[in-house]
Every structure is written in C-alpha cells, then in structure tokens.
Chain A
Amino acid sequence: NAGVTQTPKFRILKIGQSMTLQCAQDMNHNYMYWYRQDPGMGLKLIYYSVGAGITDKGEVPNGYNVSRSTTEDFPLRLELAAPSQTSVYFCASREGAKGYTFGSGTRLTVV
C-alpha cells in the first residue's frame, strides 16, 4: 500500500514549456486534490475531483488543467509554464470522513 505517489520529485522548466505532474493513489479514494504551496502563503487548492470523470476548479486554477479518467490517477497539466508557477505541488486524496493523505510533493522551478 504505497498511499499517494507523485512524480517527478523535482523539475526545472523553461517559460512556455509544458509538463504533466503525475499523482496516483492505491487506496481507492474517490476524492483527490491538487494544492500548491508557496512560502508564507500556505497551501492553495488548484483543482479537485470527487470521482472518475468529475473535476472542478479550486481557488487558483488558472494556468492548469486536470483529468480523472480512473479512480487511481489525477494528473495536473501545465500548458505554458510561467515563473509564477514556480512552487511545490502536493497531491492529496481522501475517502469520506477519513483524513487526507498527501503525496511527497513535486518541486517545480520555471526559469
């Protein structure tokens, strides 16, 4: 039981490049979330999903896209990377009233 797995752990992108941050969970959780963590700002919700095929915007969705074709996977897509997207990205999952499980994070730098 691996929990929530995020890849890659680190990535450097040039402005305008695209990439997909991967997130997978093996706990059969319906709810999955993407957060970004910036110094002094806490964590802000980018997108979330309540089940396969259903996604919705969070607090800071601009510049990102998500898909949820399976219960296990919830990738986050950056289409045209900008310096403002330099951050640490955390994926999380939750099942009902149980607590959240977080991934180990992806540290992204856009130069």
Chain B
Amino acid sequence: AQRVTQPEKLLSVFKGAPVELKCNYSYSGSPELFWYVQYSRQRLQLLLRHISRESIKGFTADLNKGETSFHLKKPFAQEEDSAMYYCALSGQGGSGGSNYKLTFGKGTLLTVNP
C-alpha cells in the first residue's frame, strides 16, 4: 500500500525565514513524488515533481530514498507563499491506471507572517 505522511498540519513562519515542509512516504516500488500547492479556494497546482529536479518559485525538494522523504524547502519565505501544500505519491507506470493513482498526504497549511 502507498502512504504519504505530512506530520505538520500547520506551519507558521515569518517573512524571510527559511521554511521546510516535511513529507515521508511508504511505497514498495519506485515512486514518483509531487508537491502540489492550493491557494485559498483555488484548484491544486503542481509545484514540483522529483523527476524534473527543478526549482519553482524558489522551492526545491529532494527525494531521499534512504529516509523515504521528500521535504519541500525554501530559504526565504514570502507572504505570497501562504497556502495549503500537499505532498503526493504515484507509482511509475505498470499495468492499467492503478500505478498512476495519486495518494495525497493530509496537507500542511503554511502561513507566512509579515
């Protein structure tokens, strides 16, 4: 079974401070990890995929297979980063669509204070 754990429901930081949103996962095969962001009452938007290894809006995330983690980091938080962040996991192919199902963590609400 695949599982994603985001241990923090709420995270509050001040503008300019570093931020780290934690994500741990459980999966028996080779997972694909994502971070999605949801601004107030909007649709989910893809922030990062571990495969692409890029930095979006100053955020980065590294897949650590030894620790089964995919923590999201940003060195200097901005007020516009305030949003709900979801870590999600998907299998990498295989038969049918079941391996492409996204399993979400429960989300972390990030608040960046001025």
Q: Mark A69-111, 1 if CB is under 8 A from B, else 0.
A: 0000000000000000000001010101101101111000000
Chain B residue with Cβ nearest A58: B101
Contact A42 B34 (CB under 8 A): no
Q: Which of B46, B93, B101 has the most CB of A within 10 A?
A: B101
Bound Cα distance from A56 to B99, whole angstroms: 13
Residues of B within 8 Å of A35, CB to CB, are 102, 104
Instruction: Indicate whether A41 sits within 8 Å of B96 (C-beta atoms), given known contacts A99-B34, A103-B43, A104-B42.
Output: no
Chain A residues packing against B (C-beta within 8 Å): 30-31, 33, 35, 40-45, 48-50, 56, 58, 90, 92, 94, 96-97, 99-100, 102-105
Bound Cα distance from A56 to B96, whole angstroms: 10
Bound Cα distance from A35 to B38, whole angstroms: 14
Chain A residue with Cβ nearest B4: A42
The smallest beta-carbon distance between A67 and chain B, in angstroms, is 16
Contact B102 A104 (CB under 8 A): no
Instruction: Indicate whether A42 sits within 8 Å of B93 (C-beta atoms), given known contacts A33-B102, A100-B102.
Output: no
**Chain B positions 48-102 with a Cβ under 8 Å from a chain A Cβ:** 49, 51, 86, 92-93, 96-98, 100-102
Chain B residue with Cβ nearest A4: B43
Chain B residues packing against A (C-beta within 8 Å): 9, 34, 42-46, 49, 51, 86, 92-93, 96-98, 100-107
Bound Cα distance from A40 to B101, whole angstroms: 20
Contact A43 B100 (CB under 8 A): no
Bound Cα distance from A41 to B96, whole angstroms: 27
User: Looking at the complex, which one of B42, B86, B93, B102 makes contact with A92 (CB distance below 8 Å)?
Assistant: B102
Contact A50 B93 (CB under 8 A): no
Bound Cα distance from A42 to B101, whole angstroms: 14
Chain B residue with Cβ nearest A50: B97
Contact A42 B102 (CB under 8 A): no
Bound Cα distance from A33 to B90, whole angstroms: 13
Instruction: Indicate whether A33 sits within 8 Å of B43 (C-beta atoms), given known contacts A40-B106, A42-B106, A43-B86.
Output: no
Bound Cα distance from A58 to B98, whole angstroms: 9
Contact A105 B43 (CB under 8 A): yes
